[in-house]
Amino acid sequence: MASDALPWDDPLIAPLLVLWLYLPGYLSNTAAMLGGKWIPEMTGIPIKPIDGGRVHSDGNRLLGDGKTWNGLIGGTVGGGFLGMLTHSIAGGNIVDSAPFLDPLGTYGTSSSSITDAWYWIDWYGGEWSAVFILGCVLGFGCMVGDSVGSFFKRRRGLKREGEVSSKAPLLDTLPFAIFAFLFGQLFLAPSIVSSSELLMGMVILLILTPIIHRSFNVLGYKLGLKSVPY
């Protein structure tokens, strides 16, 4: 890209930049598949539904079998490792390297230093612990959004019990992205991840998210990591 252009102002680069910076959130569902299905099957670890089997007053489960503590932990921790991966690839990149910018960079979007962040712990790994926590926050935000989507699906009578599931395209795709964005914007200052300059890219990416999410879920289904392709 041209050196005098800002990547978050370019409608082509902006969504790619957001996707890269929020990759720990976008791919944490894949990590949740591993934690919630594959690892328990390999190790025999019990699968624990978040709602504990509890039923809402409408007669349907609160969240259903598809939302487990195993998946929540797997998605959150997986987000942390994905954060470390993006930092290892893009660490030190200048703004001209967009969309591959460092999630620990500020790139002029904040007057504060990343070392002032609440998640920067000098005595415990410095940058690497910081980017791990950053990724965990995005992964956890994704998991929360996914659970919120499931809650509203159950209220509509769409079930997910055992191997039986009902799909709802928007509720299956948008809540996880919206909550990942919210968590990034609210909790990860002064990283560029929290910058309001990313809002245009976020809106564009939200429009594309159902396609992206569907693609990853179909891949997970074909690999045997998901029981349904959505």
- Per-residue confidence band for 194, with pLDDT thresholds at 50, 70 and 90: very high
pLDDT band at 221 (very low <50, low <70, confident <90, very high): low
Per-residue pLDDT of 12-64, as tens digits, reads 999 999 999 999 998 998 888 888 888 888 888 999 999 988 988 888 888 88
CA distance readout (Å), 133 to 47, 77, 121, 207: 25, 9, 10, 28
Compute the average pLDDT of residues 91-110.
94
CA distance 186 to 165: 33
Single pTM value for the model: 0.86
Comparing CA positions, the residue from 176, 180, 178 lying closest to residue 213 is 176
What distance in Å separates the CA atoms of residue 193 and residue 83, rounded to the nearest whole number? Answer: 11
Q: Give the CA distances from residue 74 to residues 24, 67, 216, in Å, rounded to whole numbers and listed in that order.
A: 12, 12, 16
199-214 confidence digits (pLDDT tens):
999 999 999 877 876 6
pLDDT level of residue 220 (50, 70, 90 thresholds): low
At 125 the pLDDT is 83
pLDDT digits (tens, 9 = 90+) for 54-71: 988 888 888 888 899 999
Distance CA 132, CA 81 (A): 6
The structure tokens listed for 65 are: 């079998």
